Structure 1
Amino acid sequence: MSPLRTEQHAVLDRAADQPMLAQTLDWAAINSGTAHLAGLSAVAGKLADAFAALPGTVSLLDADPVESILPDGAVRISERGRNLHVAVRPEAPVQLLLTGHMDTVFGVDHAFQTIRTLDDGRINGPGVADMKGGIAIILATLKGLEASPLAARIGYEVVINSDEETGSHGSAALIARAAQGKAAALTYEPAATPEGLLAGARPGSGNFSIVVTGRSAHAGRNPEDGRNAVLAAADLALRLARAKGPNLSVNAAKIEGGGPNNVVPDHAVLRINMRPRTPEDETRARNHIDAAIAAVAIEHDVHVHLHGGFARPPKPLDAAAERLFGLVRDCGARLGQTIAWAPSGGVCDGNNIAAQGVPVVDTMGVRGGAIHSGEEFLIVESLAERARLSTLVLLELAERGRP
């Protein structure tokens, strides 16, 4: 790639000069755990005000209701926070999608609630890397783009959802709609390592709650009349674990149920996660689940009901995705940034976007680390670095049309 042109320098400088750190600290100071609707509402309002600086329309859209299974097997319908949606120049020849999330894993009662500056200048705080810093980079990038003559060639949608940390169940339909017809997408999860490594291929992820209903009886007088739901759930967990292999991880996380030692338990709920590497592996996992449930139901004479599914499809790297990663790498080289990528065992909204046939790089956010823990940190200089990088990627996409 050629060196930066004078007009590109000006656009990138505009992006890098945006008040990203101040915005990150402001947004991260409000608890926005996925279940804390009041906090999410406050953050969403601030984000809507900030993104109103862009042309186009800014909306806060209600999330779809989310179903979950309680320990007693009952179905609970939960609300999620509203999702930010921005649409700019839908008539432009090049259409892109930029996504992020406003929620964190830290609930309102979690001990990790404060922000502090560490001795080496890093910022420690809930969500500063994952991903309030990434949201600030999105806004800075787009403000930089709007200062370029190439802006007229690019239309874009921005989705900042409120439930990524729990699987995006309430926002998956919005993300799928926004991905339609896009030439490429960028998602602003933090880099995979503090050095800036990007996450390449990702497995899919399925979360399941399997309700087992048996029959209670006295454990001493007539145990043969009972149908032990806990035993059936344990057998099911073992059968599902046999599907584990290089391309499929299986984690039986919890069995809930049972009661007094002298009662054959008639109820249990098995919680399990599966992560297939490819769509074919997902199909094999589904078939294994169905076969295991059928066998356990017959052998233990119990009723088994499956809830959940593969909310995150596998994200292998196809040719279009490889080209987009190559473009990011080459833009990084022009900026003196070394960009590389490697497979990741984690999942995110990039999985859902890729499932729509759109190439996506989903770790365009800050450099930092220790996410999902009280040690989470943001490397401050990465805000400007990543803003320059993603702005240059957008300028190149404006000229090329596609990766």
Structure 2
Amino acid sequence: MIASSARRILARIDAAAMLAGVRDWAAVNSGTYNLSGLATMAERLAAAFAALPGEVRLVDPAPVDRMTADGRIEPVAHGRHLTLAVRPQAQRRLLFFGHMDTVYGPDHPFQSQAWRADGALIGPGVTDMKGGLQVMLAALSALEAEGAIDAIGYDVLVNSDEETGSLSSATLIAALAEGKAAAFGYEPALPDGTLAGARGGTGNFSLAVTGRSAHAGRNPEEGRNALVAAADLALRLAAAKAPGLTVNPARIDGGGPNNVVPDHAVLRVNFRPADAAATARADAAIEEACQTVAAAHDVAVHRHGSFNRPAKPVDAAAGRLFALVEAAGAELGLTLGRRATGGVCDGNNVAAREVPVVDTMGVRGGAIHSPEEYLLVDSLAERAALSTLAVLRIAEGARL
């Protein structure tokens, strides 16, 4: 039985208002590199989260660069990140995090919303994660309105670059996660409500190969074929895959006219290590492959990129937080499963600060990152209630 005080808090969750909020936010294109759209989204979020106590701030992104197709390093502009600090002097503090960016750029054909025959809402970002942001806001608003969590403090972070690796917000995530008793992220759950448990890590690299051009017929022996060297590099890295480590050579930029030995190529490759040991093996494999290919083909290889998200295991502390969330779900009549995934998110970065985290507290839905992305509308109030009860139990002194 849910106590009358908790029922009073849950009654404040307004599903219709949440849906209207999702539709308003999803109407704003906020692809990671759409700076004007992100600025609009940040303004709307700032206005919405201002209903909570504390100061809303829009924080400038940290500098980020990338390697272009011709091997140059250039800066990449990002949008500002939203933060909110509530009762910063409280002894027990939590972190709530999400992201405002989507994978749909301003030129992507998927821009509008529609209703599916079964009542699901189709739209860009409705599930990943503008629906999740509504869940976070509704839960915190209900708890604050009843004074139910005055004993704890918290930070809110909504960054603008999660979909591309959180490179401009990584230091901010680390700073806000430091010392927190627990953290909740609002990535979507699976359609049946299953939560993501352990996560692997990820690293993205661009490897620029510089050779020497020559005439393909007259003096090819004087050339150093960068495209062939990049292909060799891709094969060597692909061969580094092993249990606990997947490797995906994804693209080679380079080449030119058929009668010219190409002197430049860039290999793009993604690594998914299951744990810290696999990350170390992957790093060593990159170094060895670069050195071997450089010597074998008489080329130069320049490495750019990083393992930007460490693997996220479910340790004892995280296990207790999952148990607390599952118990809150049971109070609501929900059976919450959990399973490991190779996908990554900011939960990886938060867990790296030794903070227990459940990072799929968002809505139920599916087909994310596709033109069929959909939100199961009844999950808005359901998942807001789940967050509300979980946070309430922490405020009441649940062991973490």
Shift of 1:93: 2.2
Q: Which residue of 2 aligns with 1:29?
A: 27
CA contact (8 A) 1:230 1:265 kept: yes
Aligned AA (1:177):
A
1:113 aligns with 2:111: yes
What is the match of residue 54 of structure 2? 56
Over the matched positions of the two proteins, sequence identity in percent amounts to 60
CA distance in 1, matches of 2:170, 2:306: 13
The partner residue of 2:292 within 280, 291, 295 is: 295
Whether 1:226 and 2:240 are equivalent positions in the alignment is no
Task: Please say which of residues 367-376 and 220-229 is displaced more in the overlay.
Answer: 220-229
Quote the residue 1:335 is aligned against. Answer: 332
Superposition pairs for residues 196-215 of structure 1, below 5 Å?
196-215=193-212
1:147 — aligned with what? Answer: 145
Distance 2:13 2:90 in 1: 21
Deviation at 1:119, TM superposition (A): 2.0
Q: Secondary structure at the match of 1:19?
A: helix
SS in 2 for 1:264: coil
Tell me the SS of whatever aligns to 1:400.
coil
Structure 1 counterpart of 2:157? 159
Report the residue type matching 1:21 in the other structure.
Answer: L
Gaps of 5+ in 1: none
**CA–CA separation in structure 2 for the residues paired with 1:113 and 1:107:** 9
Instruction: Give the Cα–Cα distance (whole angstroms) in 2 for the partners of residues 112 and 233 of structure 1.
Output: 35
> Structure 2 CA distance, aligned partners of 1:69 and 1:122?
40
- The one-letter amino acid of 1:108's match is P
Secondary structure in 2 matching 1:288: helix
The question of 1:396 aligning with 2:386 is answered no
CA distance in 2, matches of 1:184, 1:318: 13
Q: For residue 169 of structure 1, what is the aligned residue in structure 2? A: 167
Whole-angstrom CA distance in 2 between matches of 1:390 and 1:55: 18
Q: Deviations over 1:12-67 (max 9, x none)?
A: 22135572111100000011111110011001000000000000110011111221
Q: 1:138 to 1:20 in 2, by over 3 A?
A: same
Label 1:94 to 1:401 Cα distance change in 2 as closer, same or farther (>3 A).
farther
Question: 1:6 corresponds to which residue?
Answer: 4
Q: Give the secondary structure class of the aligned counterpart of 1:22.
A: helix
Take 1:322 and 1:279, find their aligned partners in 2: how far apart are those partners? 19
Counting only pairs closer than 5 Å after superposition, residues 4-403 of structure 1 correspond to structure 2 as: 4-16=2-14, 19-191=17-189, 193-400=190-397, 402-403=399-400
SS of residue in 2 equivalent to 1:81 = coil
Q: CA deviation at 1:92?
A: 1.4
Structure 2 CA distance for partners of 1:402 and 1:227, relative to 1, 3 Å: farther
Instruction: Write the distance in 2 (CA, Å) between the matches of 1:332 and 1:218.
Output: 69
Taking structure 2 as the reference length, the TM-score comes to 0.98
**Conserved 8 A contact 2:15-2:380:** no
Question: How far 1:397 sits from its partner (Å)?
Answer: 0.9
> What are the ranges of 5 or more consecutive residues in structure 2 without an aligned counterpart?
none
Displacement of 1:246 after TM fit?
2.0
Q: Give the aligned residue type for 1:201.
A: A
Deviations 1:67-114 (A, max 9, x none): 111100011101101111000001112200000101110000010000
Rounded to whole Å, the distance in 1 between the matches of 2:320 and 2:243 is 27
> 1:321, 1:359 within 8 Å by CA — same for their partners in 2?
yes
> What's the offset of the Cα at 1:383?
0.4
Q: Distance in 1 between matches of 2:144 and 2:390?
A: 14
Aligned equivalents of 2:38, 2:383: Cα separation in 1: 25
2:362 maps to amino acid: G
Instruction: Give the number of equivalent residue pairs.
Output: 400
Deviation of the 1:263 alpha carbon: 1.0
Please give the per-residue CA displacement for 1:108-129, whole angstroms capped at 9, x wherever unaligned.
Answer: 0010000112222110000000
CA RMSD after TM alignment: 1.1
Alpha-carbon offset, residue 401 of structure 1 = 5.5
Shift of 1:253: 0.3
Report if the CA contact (8 A) 1:184-1:402 is conserved. no
CA distance in 2, matches of 1:392, 1:16: 16
The alpha-carbon deviation at position 222 of structure 1 amounts to: 1.4
